[in-house]
Amino acid sequence: MQLDDLNALVAKHVGARKKIVLRTCMSAGCMSSQADVIKKNLEAEVKAQGLEADVEVRRVGCMGFCGQGPLIGVDGLSAKEKLFEFVKPTDAPAIVGSLKGGACDVQAGNPDHPFFAKQMRIVRANGGIVDPERIEDYLAAGGYQALHQVLTEMQLAGVVEEITKSGLRGRGGAGFLTGLKWGTVAKSAGAKKYVVCNGDEGDPGAFMDRSVLESDPHLVLEGMAIAAYAVGADQGFLYVRAEYPLAIARLQTAIKQAKQLGLLGGGIFESPFNFNVDIRIGAGAFVCGEETALMASVEGKRGTPRPRPPFPAESGLWGCPTLINNVETFANITAIINRGGAWYAGIGTEKSKGTKVFALTGKIRNNGLIEVPMGIPLRQIVEEMGGGAPAGGQIKSVQTGGPSGGCIPAAYLDTPVDYESLTKLGSIMGSGGMVVMDDATNMVEIAKFYMEFCMEESCGKCIPCRTGTAQMFHLLEKITQRRGTARDLAKLEELCDMVRHTSLCGLGQTAPNPVASTLKFFRAEYEALLQPDPHGPRANGSVKTAEAVTP
Amino acid sequence: MKLRVATVWLGGCSGCHMSFLDMDEYLIELAGLIDLVYSPVIDVKEFPDQVDVCLIEGAVCNEDNLEILRKIRERTRVLVSFGDCAVTGNVPAMRNPFGDDNRTDVLQRAYIDNTQDNPGVPKADGIVPQLLERVVPVHEAVYVEYFLPGCPPPAARIQEILGQIVTGQTPKLTGPQLKFG
Amino acid sequence: MAAKTLIIDGKEVSAEEGATVLQVARDNGVKLPTLCHLEGVYDVGACRLCLVEIAGTTKLLPACTTKISEGMRITTDSDRLRKYRRMTIELLFAERNHVCAVCVSNGHCELQTLAYSLGMDHVRYDYIFPKWNVDLTHRMFGMDHNRCILCTRCVRVCWHIEGAGTKNVAGRGATSKIISDLNQPWGDSESCTECGKCVMACPTGALFNKGTTTGEMEHDRDKLEFIVNAREKQQWLP
Ligand SMILES: Cc1cc2nc3c(=O)[nH]c(=O)nc-3n(C[C@H](O)[C@H](O)[C@H](O)COP(=O)(O)O)c2cc1C
Ligand code: SF4
Ligand code: SF4
Ligand code: SF4
Ligand code: FES
Ligand code: FES
């Protein structure tokens, strides 16, 4: 298909739109509160109230304010967008009635709330606006223009150069420079190359990637296609965890639609460029998000990491050069191509460019997904956008980076959110989980929670991670049960160092972080739990004595 | 003044003490260098005060073991875990993997299932000590200075470490002398 | 192939391109502790005992999977490495139920030997004492999960030397387990050819010939080496 045909299709689609649009969030969050029933009821009500000519009910992806969901957005009624929160299926008549000026007591949201106003939406630009199951909607929002531009106007090297210029860093956690990675794969010799999108998203509390895949699947596909063109690949794999059935279904639909329009498959935009994408479903192991484990899993093997080098860029899937990027990384690509690397590099800080999506959760008033420019002070996110701790609470700490990250104490809330600043505080940017904790939170329990997670998710391949995390968890349990001594704490710290430096992959290497960071800032909480040993200061620990045994 | 040395037998098979006796003529030499103030091989009822070195055979299996061990720790300058049971828990600790009810289960097996006459778990408060929930090596219960592994430690190995102790060196075993089993 | 010069523990040595740090170390008489490495099968870098320091990187790298390069400066022994190695071994002993005194491999066990050569006189971590079983369903061999250190040598010889593909790893983390076929009793395995290579490969008392008692199980590594030599170098005579 040529661009003209595509534009004609879009014009027809846009022409058929109605005056008023009821955008119904049908992402996993709102779906779990019957968003599908709400949509059906709204449609029936529109018909019943005779508004079919003017009103359409549109399925959209996540609007971000998931804590207030189910959400309905109304466009075209007044100059300003209207928002309904906590919608129930029985609210349909009132909501539709309100379009004609009827009374409606459904809670109205405020689109000017700092939660929305402070956001900068690049990755999530279409989230909550386009219908993720209709490619026409994505096309109408300017979709696949970047791919067209790349295929018709840009050299391979030019694409890599533009991404390099943007300063984009991988959003999967480590923050590796994306342009550099693309350049390496592009330069790697090999007749066959692959592009892999990492949608494993296993951090507890994280749902950024799920939301992007559910709300705007074509954005990721287009990013992958551009990457494939730039590095010389013709096959892509989208690795998504099985716990994300809606994302998988929407991706399948999206791939089918893109193929029908010749935007994926052979001879894209009638150029010599071919690109196919297949979905691979992960069984939900956290470690399968690690790139070498993920590739083993794609190859059909047990998902365990292997030592690097060789890096995937030189030897990845089936030994071929492979580009692997995170969902959010790919979701940034079209904007960079459309608006230029220089534009993107203008957002954020010196070393952290662009925006970052966070899943804001925990002891905070406003939960949900936010996209903010890099460098924004943590305080603005937590206090202004998040609205601070719920009544009576005081924010104590913010956890970023999930099980690989750390806890930033409230005293450091003015820290700008960028890769370097967070690392300096012993945490990491990570993939975007942000859990706010209030003063009722026990930090040793938090450390124990994450250690238990790492222990259970360790693949078991290397000794330090497999048994080190088990011992660290055991020590933390001893301490929280008030059975630990200073000697146990010393052992815990020694293990933190050892596991970090000797584990094979990132899981083990970062597993000690939550302990190390809480020890750094909240050491007193650990010490308060320690027991002086009744058997002298030199005793090793305490022994559980028996209650009577009566067989 | 001669070193005041004790040896004690907790949850073990007495093999380590047999191996101790296997030091043969060195025992005679040793007798001239130390005072053996408490041991299963001599008849002293109460663990004395101001002991310099105590070799501890056996794992910590019951409340009696634990009580005497704590007393020993208070009254002794240097403790040596003597043999694998003391160092690792070894065979006595093989009941631990059987979970929280392992005490009940082993007693049931030993005193009821496998007996022909008078099945029943001996019970006499204050005389028969209760088993601990789990068998632990000595260093999990009290601080231990030195370790002498082996099941049993060969006589030569015991002689080596005792020789180091009586000549005032820091006891140190290396290489195969540290072999477990 | 081109030769490379490099420095191991201050000594200048040269070696063929493509060699691993471990090969070069061993060729030059430098001792490095290993557990998951086995001559004749590919390396997985899992036990982390062979980690070495390499100038220019802050990361410790496994000698068995790291290829040499020109001018590499390698340190195989330092206080830090020694400490980590001892901790690694201690963690293994605390992880499952090793009772050397009553083990078929007592006296012929790589783990036991490593423990004493690294100076391990006791284990500072609390023993976990997990419950594991012993699979005695096979006609000729037994598998004692209490003594398995998950080095996957058995899995690799089974797939890549024998080509039977009977052995595998199931589960995650500390509950990982060596299985036969689809986690069936070994005796029910239809793919097992009864070649015994896994038993030869096992560094500990986890895999043994039935009928051997305490201290009797010697793993016949020579036989494996013979097969590998015969296959790779066509040398049929020792
Ligand atoms: C234990 C572990 C889990 C990981 N999980 C994910 C994940 O869920 N999603 C992801 O994109 N990257 C994950 N990563 C990072 C990937 O290995 C890899 O660095 C990333 O996909 C590269 O993409 P990027 O450069 O776009 O960030 C994980 C890494 C580790 C060590
Ligand atoms: S660090 Fe943990 S997850 Fe990574 S390879 Fe080792 S055991 Fe597996
Ligand atoms: S496998 Fe080795 S270390 Fe384990 S009990 Fe047997 S001899 Fe001891
Ligand atoms: S059975 Fe033996 S060879 Fe196999 S993983 Fe366990 S210790 Fe290694
Ligand atoms: S899931 Fe509906 S707003 Fe996020
Ligand atoms: S021998 Fe190199 S990691 Fe095990």
C152 lines ligand 4 (CB under 6 A): yes
Lowest mean pLDDT among A33-37, A100-104, A475-479, C31-35: A100-104
Residue B117 predicted with pLDDT over 70: yes
Rounded to an integer, what distance in angstroms lies between the CA atom of residue A368 and that of residue A63?
Answer: 9
The structure's pTM equals 0.94
pLDDT range class, residue A479, cuts 50, 70, 90: very high
- Comparing C2 with C175, the larger pLDDT belongs to C175
A 193-232 residues inside an 8 A Cβ radius of C = none
The domain limits of chain A are 18-110, 143-345, 356-441, 444-527
Residue C1 predicted with pLDDT over 70: no
pLDDT range class, residue C238, cuts 50, 70, 90: low
Residue A551 predicted with pLDDT over 60: no
The arrangement of strands across the sheet holding B146-148 comes to B34-38, B3-9, B51-57, B76-82, B146-148
| Dihedrals phi, psi of B101, to nearest 5 degrees | -95, 15
CA of B20 to the centre of ligand 3 (A): 24
pLDDT, mean of residues A454-471: 98
Distance of residue A547 Cα from the nearest chain B Cα, in angstroms? 8
Question: Which residue is closest in CA terms to ligand 3's atom 3?
Answer: C112
CA of A117 to the centre of ligand 5 (A): 17
C204 lines ligand 3 (CB under 6 A): yes
Distance of residue A542 Cα from the nearest chain B Cα, in angstroms? 6
Question: Which residue is closest in CA terms to ligand 4's atom 3?
Answer: C202
CA of C154 to the centre of ligand 4 (A): 6
pLDDT, mean of residues C174-181: 97
Please report the pLDDT score of residue A538 as a whole number: 53
Superfamily of domain A143-345: NADH-ubiquinone oxidoreductase 51kDa subunit (3.40.50.11540)
Put simply, whether A301 touches C (Cβ < 8 Å) is no
What are A84's strand-pairing partners?
A: A72, A108
Pocket probe for ligand 6: among C23, C37, C39, C204, the residue whose CB has the most ligand atoms within 8 Å is C37
CA of C28 to the centre of ligand 6 (A): 18
What are C147-167's pLDDT values in tens digits?
999 999 999 999 999 999 999
What are B88-116's pLDDT values in tens digits?
999 999 999 999 999 999 999 999 999 98
Put simply, whether A541 touches C (Cβ < 8 Å) is yes
Please report the pLDDT score of residue A548 as a whole number: 37
The arrangement of strands across the sheet holding C134-135 comes to C134-135, C141-144, C207-209
Task: Work out the percent of chain B whose per-residue pLDDT is above 90.
Answer: 92
C180 lines ligand 4 (CB under 6 A): no
Q: How far is the first Cα of chain B from the last one, in angstroms, to the nearest whole number?
A: 36
Put simply, whether B81 touches C (Cβ < 8 Å) is yes
- 3-class secondary structure per residue, A383-407: HHHCCCCCCCCCEEEEEECHHHCEE
Rounded to an integer, what distance in angstroms lies between the CA atom of residue A207 and that of residue A29?
Answer: 10
CB neighbour burial string for A56-71, b if at least 16 within 10 angstroms, e if fewer: bbbbbbbbbbbbbbbb
The ligand with the least distance to the CA atom of C25 is 6
pLDDT range class, residue A59, cuts 50, 70, 90: very high
What was the ipTM of the complex prediction?
A: 0.95
Cβ–Cβ < 8 Å for A226, A159: yes
**Into which CATH architecture does domain A18-110 fall?**
3-Layer(aba) Sandwich (3.40)
A 518-537 residues inside an 8 A Cβ radius of B = 535-536
Task: Work out the percent of chain A whose per-residue pLDDT is above 70.
Answer: 97
Please report the pLDDT score of residue C220 as a whole number: 84
Here the contacts of A245-249 (C-beta below 8 Å, separation 24 or greater) are A246/A27, A246/A28, A246/A31, A246/A214, A247/A28, A247/A199, A247/A210, A247/A213, A247/A214, A247/A217, A248/A279, A248/A281
Question: A217-231 and A208-215 helices cross at what angle (nearest 10)?
Answer: 100
Query: A80: closest CA among A122, A38, A39, A108?
Result: A108
* C92 with A463: Cβ contact below 8 A: yes
* Closest ligand 5 atom, residue A68 Cα: 3
Closest-CA residue of chain A to C152: A461
CA of A382 to the centre of ligand 1 (A): 25
Please report the pLDDT score of residue A544 as a whole number: 47
A505 lines ligand 2 (CB under 6 A): yes
pLDDT, mean of residues C137-143: 98
Residue B161 structure tokens? 């470490």
pLDDT range class, residue C9, cuts 50, 70, 90: very high
Please report the pLDDT score of residue A444 as a whole number: 98
CB neighbour burial string for B126-158, b if at least 16 within 10 angstroms, e if fewer: eeebbbbbbbbbbbbbbbbbbbbbbbbbebebb
A87 lines ligand 2 (CB under 6 A): no
pLDDT range class, residue A320, cuts 50, 70, 90: very high
The ligand with the least distance to the CA atom of A512 is 2
pLDDT range class, residue A535, cuts 50, 70, 90: low
C35 lines ligand 6 (CB under 6 A): yes
Pocket probe for ligand 3: among C95, C103, C154, C216, the residue whose CB has the most ligand atoms within 8 Å is C103
Task: Work out the percent of chain B whose per-residue pLDDT is above 70.
Answer: 100
Mean pLDDT of chain A: 94
CATH code: domain A444-527 is 1.20.1440.230
Put simply, whether A540 touches B (Cβ < 8 Å) is yes
Residue A537 predicted with pLDDT over 70: no
What are A72-117's pLDDT values in tens digits?
999 998 878 889 999 999 999 999 999 988 889 999 999 899 999 9
* C127 with B178: Cβ contact below 8 A: no
Tell the CATH topology of A356-441: Ubiquitin-like (UB roll) (3.10.20)
Domains, chain B = 3-97+131-178 (3.40.50.700)
C151 lines ligand 4 (CB under 6 A): yes
The ligand with the least distance to the CA atom of C47 is 6
pLDDT range class, residue A541, cuts 50, 70, 90: very low
Neighbours of chain B (3+ CB pairs under 8 A): A, C
What are C208's strand-pairing partners?
A: C142
Rounded to an integer, what distance in angstroms lies between the CA atom of residue A160 and that of residue A341?
Answer: 10
Question: Which residue is closest in CA terms to ligand 3's atom 8?
Answer: C100
What are A354-369's pLDDT values in tens digits?
999 999 999 999 999 9
Please report the pLDDT score of residue A524 as a whole number: 97
Rg (CA), chain C: 19
B 44-73 residues inside an 8 A Cβ radius of A = 60, 62-63, 66, 70, 73
* Closest ligand 4 atom, residue C143 Cα: 1
Domains, chain C = 3-77 (3.10.20.740), 84-212 (3.30.70.20)
pLDDT, mean of residues A293-299: 98
Residue B74 structure tokens? 């208070």
Question: A217-231 and A245-260 helices cross at what angle (nearest 10)?
Answer: 60
